[in-house]
Amino acid sequence: MIKNSISKERKQYLKNIKKKKYLILLTQISILILFLGIWEFLANKEIIDSFITSQPSRVFNTLINLGSNDLLKHIGVTVYETIVGFLFGAIMGIIIAIILWWSDFLSKVSEPYLVVLNSLPKVALRTYYYYMGWSRDTSYYSYGNFNITNCYHIRKLKWIFKNR
C-alpha cells in the first residue's frame, strides 16, 4: 500500500509559501489603510484642498447615500444590458463565422469589407449619433464616426449636382 505522505521539508516549504502570501496580503491592506488615513488627515487639517481631492469619509458617505437612491437597480439594469449585448454579439459573431466558414463564395466576397471594418475603431461603428449630443436637425457632421444607417450625409451632397 502506497501512502501519500509528504516530507517534513515539503510541509515546511508549503507553510512558508502560505505565510508569504498572508504577509503580502497584510502589507497590501496596510498600505491601503495608511494611504486612506493620511489622505483623511491631510484633508481634515486643510493641508490639501478637500474640494478638489475630497476625503475618504465623504466618498464613503456618498456611496452610502447612492445606495438609497436605487443605485443597485441601475447597476442591475446596466449589468443585464451588458450581458445581453455581449451574448447577442457573441452569438451573431459565431453564426456569421459559421456561415463564412461554410460558404467559400461568401467568404471571398466579404473579405475586403471585413478587413476594412476590422481596421476601424469599434466606437466608430455605432449605428447613429442622436443620443450622443447631436441630432440630425442641428448638425450633419458625424465628427469622425461612421454611421451605418444614417444617409443624411449623402442627401446633403445634392447641392453639388444642382449647381452644375
Query: pLDDT tens digit string along 10-64?
Result: 999 999 999 999 999 999 999 999 999 999 999 999 999 988 999 999 999 988 8
Residue type, 64: I
Segment 53-112, tens digit of pLDDT: 999 999 999 888 877 778 788 889 999 999 999 999 999 999 999 999 999 999 999 999
C-alpha–C-alpha distance, residues 122 and 144, integer Å: 12
Element holding 153 (H helix, E strand): helix 152-156
pTM metric for this prediction: 0.44
Please name the residue that has the C-alpha cell 515539503: 10
Sign of torsion over alpha carbons 75, 78, 80, 83: negative
- Tens of pLDDT, residue by residue over 121-164, are 877 766 554 455 544 554 444 444 444 444 445 445 444 445 44
How far is it, in rounded angstroms, from Cα 21 to Cα 13? 13
Rg of the chain over all Cα atoms, to the nearest angstrom: 29
Q: How far apart are CA 51 and CA 54, in angstroms?
A: 5
